[in-house]
């Protein structure tokens, strides 16, 4: 029982560590939306900006890719403790997604360039990095668990006696 708990804990902690690194990568790759500083506070400077959608897209690509990678590595390395590793992928993937969101929105990495069609003399600042489509938070655990299941299903089919006609017996 302790080996299963250890496999679960190692999986969750590994994915959480990757979540912090993914957040820094997301922060470095994603453009920031431009905001104008007005008397009422900050407002979106360019309503036609694609930066808000780009933040969701980069988040989905980074976390989805890491989910596929984690699912494959977990299947190859953790086949002795399937259930513990699978539950670790689910819980660790969810935790990693939230850590990616928190790290990426808290720390600014790379050059932040802001372009907007603002009136001259109005201060334009980069906005905070955030998600507008919260559904992309499930891309990491969903793809990790799904790819793990796909690999296990393919392996189970390859080893199945049902794959051979007549159960491996000669029909004649």
- Model pLDDT for residues 119-147, shown as the tens digit of each residue: 555 666 667 788 888 899 999 999 999 99
Residue 16: both structure tokens together: 């959480």
Q: What is the pLDDT of residue 31?
A: 81
Q: What is the pLDDT of residue 37?
A: 74
Q: Which residues pair with 34 in a beta bridge?
A: 126
CA 105/CA 161 separation, integer angstroms: 51
CA 90/CA 92 separation, integer angstroms: 6
CA 106/CA 91 separation, integer angstroms: 22
Element (H, E) at 36: strand 34-38
CA 104/CA 22 separation, integer angstroms: 8
Write down the H helix ranges in 30-110: 51-77, 82-106
Look at residues 51, 64, 68 and name the one whose alpha carbon lies nearest to residue 148.
Answer: 68
Q: What is the pLDDT of residue 48?
A: 62
Residue 60: both structure tokens together: 């989905």
Q: What is the pLDDT of residue 94?
A: 97
pLDDT tens readout for residues 81-113: 989 999 999 999 999 999 999 999 888 776 555
Q: What is the pLDDT of residue 113?
A: 54
pLDDT tens readout for residues 8-42: 999 999 999 999 999 999 988 888 777 777 777 76
Q: What is the pLDDT of residue 91?
A: 97
pLDDT tens readout for residues 144-160: 999 999 999 888 777 77
Q: What is the pLDDT of residue 116?
A: 52
Q: What is the pLDDT of residue 6?
A: 94
CA 127/CA 31 separation, integer angstroms: 9
Q: Is the pLDDT of residue 79 over 60?
A: yes
> Do the beta carbons of residue 59 and residue 100 sit within 8 Å?
yes
Q: What is the pLDDT of residue 97?
A: 96
CA 78/CA 10 separation, integer angstroms: 10
pLDDT band at 167 (very low <50, low <70, confident <90, very high): low
């Amino acid at each position: 029982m302790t080996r299963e708990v250890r496999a679960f804990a190692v999986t969750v902690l590994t994915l959480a560590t990757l979540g912090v690194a993914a957040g820094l990568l997301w922060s470095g790759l994603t453009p920031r939306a431009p905001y104008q500083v007005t008397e009422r506070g900050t407002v979106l400077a360019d309503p036609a900006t694609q930066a808000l959608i780009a933040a969701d897209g980069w988040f989905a690509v980074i976390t989805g890719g890491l989910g596929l990678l984690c699912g494959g590595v977990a299947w190859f390395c953790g086949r002795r403790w399937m259930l513990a590793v699978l539950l670790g992928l689910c819980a660790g993937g969810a935790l990693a997604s939230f850590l990616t969101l928190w790290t990426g929105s808290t720390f600014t990495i790379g050059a932040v360039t802001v372009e907007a069609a603002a009136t001259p003399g109005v201060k334009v600042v980069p906005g905070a990095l955030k998600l507008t489509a919260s559904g992309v938070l499930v891309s990491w655990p969903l793809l990790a668990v799904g790819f793990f299941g796909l690999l296990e299903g393919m392996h189970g089919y390859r080893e199945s006696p049902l794959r051979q006609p007549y159960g491996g017996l000669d029909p004649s």
